[in-house]
Amino acid sequence: MKNRNMIMLAVLITALVCSQAVFAGGTKEEVLEQGAQEAPVQVPAGPEEDPDTLLQRFSYAFGYLSAMSFIQQGIEIESEFFARAVRDSYAGDEPVMSIEDMNKALEEYQMKLQSDAMEMEDQQAKLNLAQAEEFLAENALRDGVVTTDSGLQYLIVKEGSGPKPAASDVVTVHYTGTFIDEMVFDSSHMRGEPVSFPLGGVIPGWTEGLQYMNVGSTAMLYLHPDLAYGRRGSPPNIGPNELLIFEVELIDIE
């Protein structure tokens, strides 16, 4: 019974992975183009005729979408052994590996995937940090850009005439957040309404930066990762050590 439950769980997990690939995997061309670089596989020959019956069409669809999901996730498959395992299972043949060894193999491969992902994230964090520091070094030379003791950089685009907030205040703002490449990752303008929040409850760059602004001002805030989301980032939109740029309009202080 335990073995049967394990097999059923594996089937359900595979089906879930496949369903996620359909909704989140992008177009077939995008997935296959990415996979061609990340997870090359050796594909055994199959029947030459096209699937006709419902069972044949289901089998082909299930196999194709499974492979797309594996490719998308960078999971390499020795497809000859995969096909052999399927044949052995459906034929009722004794498996060449014990269930214990299968579980061990799955656990070891999962650990490998996690290790690879951590290594890639570490490399991305180092690259992002280098790009952030290079950008800020150049940006500090621009007219009107002020660099504070914390490393925050800001530029007053439009000077307001109202009061300046304290860290204990609740403020109302409109803003647009972009990366170095000017890609927008968040915007209150796109949502069609400003946002209000306690100034002391946001990322350090905002808490500090808005205190330099009068109500009615618009400013650019250039945030070193240490003043934003740091090494951890804010998945899935903000990567590790990502420099963030905000255009902020201070509308009101409550």
Give the range among 43-47, 81-85, 177-181, 217-221 with minimum mean pLDDT.
43-47
- Asked whether 194 and 173 are in contact (CB, 8 A), the reply is yes
Quote the longest CA-to-CA distance of the chain. Answer: 81
pLDDT digits (tens, 9 = 90+) for 124-151: 999 999 999 999 999 999 999 999 999 9
- Position 124 scores a pLDDT of 95
CB count within 10 Å of CB 65 equals 20
Residue 124 CA to its chain's centroid (Å): 12
Which residues, other chains included, contact 89 with Cβ-Cβ below 8 Å and sequence gap of 6+?
95
| Structure token digits, residue 172 | 């109302």
- Asked whether 46 and 82 are in contact (CB, 8 A), the reply is no
Among 217, 209, 202, 228, which Cα is nearest to 153's? 209
pLDDT digits (tens, 9 = 90+) for 173-219: 999 999 999 999 999 999 999 999 999 999 999 999 999 999 999 99
Distance, first Cα to last Cα, the chain: 63
pLDDT digits (tens, 9 = 90+) for 85-109: 988 998 999 999 999 999 999 999 8
Q: What is the mean pLDDT of the chain?
A: 85
Q: What is the CATH number of domain 144-253?
A: 3.10.50.40
pLDDT average, residue stretch 224-237: 95
Q: Domain segments of the chain: what residues? A: 2-96, 144-253
Handedness of CA 156, 157, 160, 165 (dihedral sign): negative
Q: What is d(CA 211, CA 53) in angstroms, rounded to the nearest whole number?
A: 69
Strands 195-198 and 146-147: unpaired
- Position 44 scores a pLDDT of 52
| Structure token digits, residue 202 | 């946001």
Q: What is d(CA 77, CA 67) in angstroms, rounded to the nearest whole number?
A: 9
